[in-house]
Amino acid sequence: MSSKTWAAVDDYIVSSLFEADPVLDAVIATNRKQGLPAIDVSAAQGKLLSLLVRIRGAKRVLEVGTLGGYSTIWMARALPADGKVVTLELDPHHAKVAHSNFERAGVSKLVDLRVGPALQSLETLAAENAGPFDLIFIDADKPNNPNYLTWAMRLSRPGTVIICDNVIRDGAVLDEDGRDPHVEGARAAFSFIGGDKHLDGTAIQTVGAKGYDGFAIAIVE
């Protein structure tokens, strides 16, 4: 089984289960044209995020790491008309591209994009009493995963769903003494979720168009 098969099966999943989606296709094309790294979630993963928003019945969603807003749009589309995704992005160019993608997708009213270091934006959100959020998706600089998870706990309530991207990394998550900060971030997510008595979680290993990686998913108790 090769990554070529995983990508072909992802195409099969998308073509058999999803409506054609020229807007999302255009968002991905724009992100590449604007030089953003190709680290958006896959379509199958975006759909999973949107289903989790619906299953939770989430009205308030927090995302850490917007990039061009591809995952944001999947989640925004799953919200009721009075819902909101607050999404945090460091890079002003990424944020500008995301903003235009939100316009194109018709979700601008559902999205609150905050530009700057996420740890600062999280302070601001806490000061604004912006929480509690119903679902939180963490997908930014991996070494900060423990800090983002700490903030996620402060901005949550019992029942909040917390998802953390890129926690498997081709299985490199097993490298106990690897010096890759991304892997350290992945392992930190596991030890945080495993060590917090108010979190009950698992991880889903995924293969597909984006290779072999995975999501950690937890519920706040």
Binding positions for Mg ion, rule: CB under 5 A: 139, 165-166
Residue 139 CB, nearest approach to Mg ion (Å): 4
Considering only residues 113 through 152, tell me which ones interact with ligand DHB, judged by CB under 6 A. Answer: 139
d(CA 135, CA 56): 8
Q: What is the Cβ-side half-sphere exposure of residue 3, based on CA atoms within 13 angstroms?
A: 6
Query: 81 or 190, CB closer to Mg ion?
Result: 190
d(CA 200, CA 197): 8
The neighbouring-strand residues paired with 209 are none
Residue 65 CB, nearest approach to Mg ion (Å): 7
Element (H, E) at 201: strand 199-208
Query: 41 or 220, CB closer to ligand SAH?
Result: 41
By CB under 6 A, tell whether 166 contacts ligand DHB.
yes
Dihedral sign, Cα of residue 110, residue 153, residue 187, residue 91: positive
Query: 39 or 153, CB closer to ligand DHB?
Result: 39
Considering only residues 56 through 75, tell me which ones interact with ligand SAH, judged by CB under 6 A. Answer: 65-67, 70-71
Among residues 137, 23, 64, 165, which one has the least CA distance to residue 31? Answer: 23
By CB under 6 A, tell whether 41 contacts ligand SAH.
yes
Residues that bind ligand DHB (CB under 6 A): 39, 139, 165-166
